[in-house]
Structure 1
Amino acid sequence: MSNPNLRQFILDYVDRHYNTAPEYLWKRDPNYAVLRHQDNRKWYAIIMDIPRSSLGLQGEGRIDAINLKCPTEMVDDFLQQKGFLPAYHMNKANWITVLLDGSVDQETLLFLINSSFDITATRQTKQALQIDTQTEWIVPANPKYYDVEKELRENGIILWKQSNNVAVDDIVYIYVTAPTAAIRYQCLVLEANIPHRSKHKDLRVDRVMRIQCLKEFSPTQLSRDLLRQFGITAVRGPRRMPKALSDEIASWK
């Protein structure tokens, strides 16, 4: 069953934080509310009431849901959780459908709304709304190819593979894969989009970033078990840091 309060909760939130008014574009679907930016006109969300059968759900009638743009590397993780479905009538690689029936908590819902807004917003919009333009990332490091722990301890500043839209002054958390299986380092991006040709035959690297180690964590502080509590079940590629986990780390200071 849909929770009508969640629909209104979202509309109130985006009005208050982003000055977004819903647009109802289709007479055939009068309850479909599009949320988009005023400058570039890109959508960052659409709230719908969808026939349950169209989503493969049991029961009759319709259910409220919201489509949100999601970092590609996070889609699979969310789809393993209750309340998340492949994007309804949108690109399933980087959009996701979230049921508004209470199965997804409000904190996660707001995280995804904020993330979708951030992904689709221009830098000018972020500056006008005084939104922090610094992004935090989690990137995996496989010790089979590179001993990142040794390099960071000895040098402090290293070049690292870049395969996403990392920018100068972003924060990168390095997750060292098994057997460590933990986030070990917090780094600052000093330089990005540096052309590079890898010498390792099994590892293609076209561009790198220069990062500086800011903090080292013990193997138990940000272990895989702790990451699971924040919805991170795997780190197979670069992904954005969940706000809840970022806040948790900040509270340790």
Structure 2
Amino acid sequence: MDREELRQFVLSNYSAEPDRPWLNHPRFEVFRHNNNQKWFALVMDIPKSKLGLPSADMIDVVNLKCDPILVGSLRGDAGIFPAYHMSKANWITVALDGSVPDEKLKVLLDLSYELTATKMKMKTKQQNPI
């Protein structure tokens, strides 16, 4: 999946519009929940060297929130890296160069969306002290 395919998938499947919060990075797009404004995807173009790759060429990537239990095992997969410029314990960076299968990227995007969604709090019934 490339950058445009990811963008179209997000627009078609989630209630989110792209936001470009940084004037000095016009190609960086944030996708966030409408109700709580939390980010679930940050699409960027960065030098490959920022991911530890031996090149200064630019690469399109997406940062996604991830379950901390999965982060370590996912980083061993091709195209998945420690999060660029975000918490490496809770976020991953995924290359948008076709190295990660589309279905896997969609699952990771769904996970990120769910992890950043507003949580419903359950009301506890007060016990009758008598």
TM-superposed deviation, 1:123: 4.7
The equivalent residue for 2:37 is 41
Match of 1:87 among 83, 87, 90: 83
Measure, in 2, the Cα distance between the counterparts of 1:30 and 1:58. 25
Q: Does 1:77 align with 2:78?
A: no
Measure, in 2, the Cα distance between the counterparts of 1:82 and 1:51. 17
Measure, in 1, the Cα distance between the counterparts of 2:21 and 2:88. 22
Kindly report structure 1 stretches of 4+ aligned residues shifted beyond 3 Å. Answer: none
The equivalent residue for 1:96 is 92
RMSD over equivalenced CA pairs, Å: 1.5
Task: Could you tell me which runs of 5 or more consecutive residues in structure 1 were left unpaired when the two chains were aligned.
Answer: 125-166, 168-253
Q: Does 1:32 align with 2:28?
A: yes
Measure, in 2, the Cα distance between the counterparts of 1:53 and 1:43. 25
TM-superposed deviation, 1:59: 2.2
Match of 1:55 among 48, 51, 58: 51
Note the alpha carbon deviations across 1:102-136, whole angstroms, 9 max, x for none.
11000000000000001111257xxxxxxxxxxxx
Q: Which amino acid aligns with 1:21?
A: E
Q: Does 1:107 align with 2:103?
A: yes
Measure, in 2, the Cα distance between the counterparts of 1:55 and 1:99. 10
TM-superposed deviation, 1:16: 1.1
The equivalent residue for 1:16 is 12
Q: How does 1:70-219 map to 2 (within 5 A)?
A: 70-123=66-119
Note the alpha carbon deviations across 1:46-87, whole angstroms, 9 max, x for none.
000001122221223210000000000000110111111100
The DSSP-based 3-state class of the residue aligned with 2:18 is coil
> In the comparison of the two structures, how many residue pairs are matched?
121
Q: What's the TM-score, normalizing by structure 2?
A: 0.87
Bigger strand share: 1
The DSSP-based 3-state class of the residue aligned with 1:19 is coil
The equivalent residue for 1:196 is none
Q: Which amino acid aligns with 1:67?
A: N
Note the alpha carbon deviations across 1:212-250, whole angstroms, 9 max, x for none.
xxxxxxxxxxxxxxxxxxxxxxxxxxxxxxxxxxxxxxx
Measure, in 1, the Cα distance between the counterparts of 2:15 and 2:35. 12
TM-superposed deviation, 1:37: 0.6
